[in-house]
Amino acid sequence: MTATMEHELSEALGRQKDSFVREGFPSLDVRLDRLRRLANVLDRNRKEIVEAEAADFGGRSRFLSHSADILGGLEIIRHTSTQLGDWMQAKPLDVGDPDVSVELSFAPLGVVGAMTPWNGPVLISYLALVGILAAGNRAMIKLPELTPSTSGLLARELSREFDAAEVLAVQGGPEVAAAFSRLPFDHLLFTGSTETGRKVMMEAAKNLVPVTLELGGKCPVFVGRDADIDVTAVRLAHGKLLFAGQVCVTPDYVLAPREVAERLAEGILAHAQQLYPSVAGNDDYSAIITERHFARLQGLVDDAVEKGALARQLHAEEARPAASRQFPLTLLLDANAGMTVMREEIFGPILPVIGYDSFEEAVRHARCLSRPLASYYFGHDKGEARRLRENFQAGSLTINDVVSQLFYEQIPFGGVGASGMGRYRGIAGFRTFSNLMPVVTQHAAEATLDKRRPPYRVGGQAGE
């Protein structure tokens, strides 16, 4: 990272801020036009985007890429465009005084920065850009370096649709990311690891830049005693293996009644085998992003087995090409707190299944770890579900499914504690990237207001 590059980033931010001040708050039509141009990028480059992601990952489900990134991105834009006019309307607030009227107005912040991760280089970038532009801001976005083909394509196509004073895509490695996080934005959104999130927040604090952090953590699955084990198994197999577990809300470990833990593990493997009759060369089964990440996953399994866990692997007998990074689903029975896999976010197709003797024991186990981005419960016991709703802190709770909270743009997204702060997506994103500005109008007559001014009279006598 050269001083020249850092200077260029600062200059680009300055141009966006100047343009924002010069042109003022954008109208609904201007905002809708920006969203339309975002849609153009996806619509015009459907095949190229899917192929770029497949190349960056060394194998990524083209069907899922098209469904999540292209169709999902277009749905985000459609929903926001439909609702935006209503979101922009000032909302009345009753303060209980007939002489005062108050409206809550949503004003743009100015220039918002976004740093997006490699596991969702298109969809997560669009979640950020749609919310930022809908709120009337200018955007600078740091695209992930581990997906160079996808990031390069997005940067090129965004520059075709937008002047750099509206939207600017930035590429580069960790040094560029560090410099980006030091810029005096009006708001900064970061999506990534908890460790990096701490660094980003420290840099942003130097300029008093407010941040929204979407991080991660170990997302638990609680299986109740009355859960349908077969239904639980198929939904866990499907949800865990979306993009080979490289999703921030992927189930990280399962807590199940001790007497059914092994049967649940067998069911997950059986359903995974139906979903993926093979792993090697299977276009539906996504690869791990880099050799380093693949080696880390293998290290987690080796450490757990060495410390007493029993590993059960999907298609363990299958020969895989040396260059393949398709890591097979691996279930770990008898995992414990001394294993690295139970201390770090897994972010891959490894799933510890841990038996418990009481539901309260399961909740205590999960509460010993950092607050997760998501939590899941399978079962029909209203008391158990209420126990999680009222006493377990997580970014979200999904009942009798996993990952499906991602499928609806209306649902606010974000974490709590070590898994993040702030919410975005849909109206939550519009509000996060807006300044909630009360507009107060005084209607009282001067004679009424004069009674509130000195000299103050108590009991009819001044000064008494």
390 part of the active site: no
Which value, to the nearest 10 degrees, does the dihedral of the CA atoms of residues 56, 60, 64, 65 take?
10
Where do we find the tokens 């708050």? 25
Distance CA 63, CA 121 (A): 16
Active-site residue, selected from the candidate residues 53, 248, 384, 409: 248
Distance CA 168, CA 34 (A): 13
Scored b (16 or more CB within 10 A) or e, 44-76 reads ebeeebbbbbbebbbbbbbebbbebbbebbbeb
Q: How far is CA 151 from CA 91, 154, 156, in A?
A: 39, 5, 9
Q: How far is CA 433 from CA 107, 157, 185, 367, in A?
A: 9, 24, 12, 32
Where do we find the tokens 């954008």? 26
Distance CA 129, CA 332 (A): 39
Q: Which residues pair with 214 in a beta bridge?
A: 191, 420
Task: Provide CB contacts within 8 A for 86, sequence distance 6+.
Answer: none
Please state, as a whole number, how many other Cβ atoms lie within 10 Å of the Cβ of residue 429.
Answer: 28
Active-site residue, selected from the candidate residues 53, 166, 214, 409: 214
53 part of the active site: no
Question: What sign has the CA pseudo-torsion 271, 273, 279, 281?
Answer: negative
What's at 82, amino acid-wise?
A: T
Distance CA 300, CA 343 (A): 10
Where do we find the tokens 């960056």? 56
Q: Are 329 and 314 in contact (CB under 8 A)?
A: yes
Catalytic residue list: 214, 248
